[in-house]
Amino acid sequence: MKILICDDHSFYRDGIKSALATICNDANIHEAANAKSALCMIAEHHYDLVLLDIRLPDNSGLHVLQKMQITHPDVKVIMVSQYDELQYMQQSQKNGARGYLNKSIEYDDLLLAIKIVMRGQLYFMDERMYDKGHKNKASNATTPHDILNFQELNVMMGLATNKSQKAIAAELKLSAKTVFSHKTRMMKKMGFSSLTDIIDYCREQNLISRKS
């Protein structure tokens, strides 16, 4: 089995490789530390499985996923992230991911997820992803925030959880000026006039906890 691990942290890639060795001694494992490298390697090799971080230094994992759906739709992809928001899981599934995991899970759970996905089944952390008809709803989403690009969505959710623009910039590895531009476009697209509008909308759409 040929596997690509795409994550910018070498210690995380090393941990996954060690875990995979326990179930697949003959696995051919490749590594990529950013989106550009991942796309180059995917173009050169045919992978059975890609473990893809949703946050990468040069672009988002969702961007890589979208490209893969055009060029390699048969490759199974599991997104990995430190974020548990349902919105990220829905975006991942809508773009073809077969699973979504939090980086904090035990390696036994990771191996279980891989086995399930390689059998052709889905493995998502949130049970709401398995609601009747959910996949159809996700692929035909009509929520207002579907007009936002990935970074605008990230900025909106960051603001909704009371993060400062400086904190959002650091988290997304963007400049404060870029975050401000994303915020301005997001508010214009969504018709928001205040932070309260953002928080209320995100709570109504279950993008954040109602306690946030």
pLDDT digits (tens, 9 = 90+) for 91-128: 898 889 999 998 888 888 888 888 888 888 888 877 66
Burial 124-153 (b: 16+ CB within 10 A, else e): bbeeebeeeeeeeebeeeeeebeebebbbb
**CATH at 100:** 3.40.50.2300
Q: Does one domain contain both 197 and 115?
A: no
Of 115, 139, 163, the position where a domain reaches its end is 139
pLDDT digits (tens, 9 = 90+) for 20-31: 887 777 789 999
Of 139, 154, 189, the position where a domain reaches its end is 139
Residue 195 has pLDDT above 90, yes or no: yes
* Inside any domain, residue 40: yes
Identify the CA nearest to 27 among candidates 114, 124, 101. 114
Q: What percent of the chain has pLDDT over 70?
A: 90
Instruction: Give the range of the structural domain holding residue 20, as residue numbers without chain letter.
Output: 2-139
The structure tokens listed for 44 are 């050169």
DSSP one-letter code for 106:
-
Q: Maximum Cα–Cα distance for the chain, whole Å? A: 56
Q: Does one domain contain both 23 and 99?
A: yes
Q: How far apart are CA 166 and CA 3, in angstroms?
A: 36
Instruction: Judge contact between 89 and 157, C-beta under 8 A.
Output: no
**What pLDDT does 209 receive?**
63
Instruction: Judge contact between 72 and 39, C-beta under 8 A.
Output: no
